[in-house]
Amino acid sequence: MNKENLLEFLKKYNLNDYETIESTFDQYLKLLVEEGKIQIAKDFLLSGKPLEIRIKMLFKNIGLDIYEGRQNLEDLMIKPLGSFITQKPIVIEVKSGKQASLSREQLRQLDDWVYELSGEEKARKVGLGGGFDPVAFATDGLVSQATTHPSPHKGLFIYNGPIGTEFGQRSSNWIGYNELEFANKRNFCIMSFQTLINKIGEINENKISLSDFWEQIHSSCGEFSSF
């Protein structure tokens, strides 16, 4: 398609501002990738939007209710299935880089999304647990809303890096001490992209159940770990 063809197409569909054009093309590209009509790069090369699409497809293909997050905020969200023991939604932040390890600044973005979606601001202002709960006292144990978290979410950080290096050649020491400490304090699960691919493979091969994988993510504090 040359410039004239493109201009003719945009005029036909009344697309005349950059943001609308970019958003429209972005949505159609995502759909075409999900439908298998256009291809993306090999997994160890993926970054940006193609990486997000690939991860969304991986979760979707094993039966999870995954969808895109709020515009320009969190990348992806997963709602729990009714059969799962843990009913916390998962907030996903997807990153890639030329570096072998993720950065603390990248983790801070996930912290922002979990903070907002979990109602942490309300929790900090009203308070959770601790101290005297008059409702519990008056009702012989019934806990008031002031002592429960408004809407708890689990943070999942997925990293693909270093870009261009085959999975088998990547270092196993890809999470720094400060980043691991940050994730531990916030109960985040950090997972490499290759680990996600491997776990999805195990589910497809019936080596682990979908519900077990869900619980593994929720029970992991810091780097993802199996039971």
Spell out the domains of the chain, with CATH numbers in brackets.
41-118+153-223 (3.40.91.30)
Give the residue among 117, 62, 61 at the shortest CA–CA distance from 91.
117
How is residue 84 annotated by DSSP?
-
- Predicted confidence at residue 127, as pLDDT, reads 57
Q: Cα–Cα distances in Å, from 127 out to 120, 123, 149?
A: 10, 5, 9
Prediction pTM value: 0.84
Task: Reduce the DSSP state of residue 94 to 3 states and report it.
Answer: strand
Q: What is the pLDDT along the chain (227 residues), one digit of tens a residue?
A: 788 888 988 888 898 899 989 888 888 888 898 888 999 999 999 999 999 999 999 999 999 999 999 988 999 999 999 999 999 999 999 999 999 999 999 999 999 999 999 887 776 666 555 444 444 444 444 444 444 556 899 999 999 999 999 999 999 889 999 999 999 999 999 999 999 999 999 999 999 999 999 999 999 999 998 76
- Taking each continuous run of H as one helix and of E as one strand, the counts in the chain are 9, 6
Contact present, 101 and 175 (Cβ < 8 Å):
yes
Cα separation, 55 vs 194, whole angstroms: 11
Q: How far is CA 137 from the centre of its chain?
A: 39
Which tokens hold the place of 222? 């810091």
Q: How far is CA 88 from the centre of its chain?
A: 13
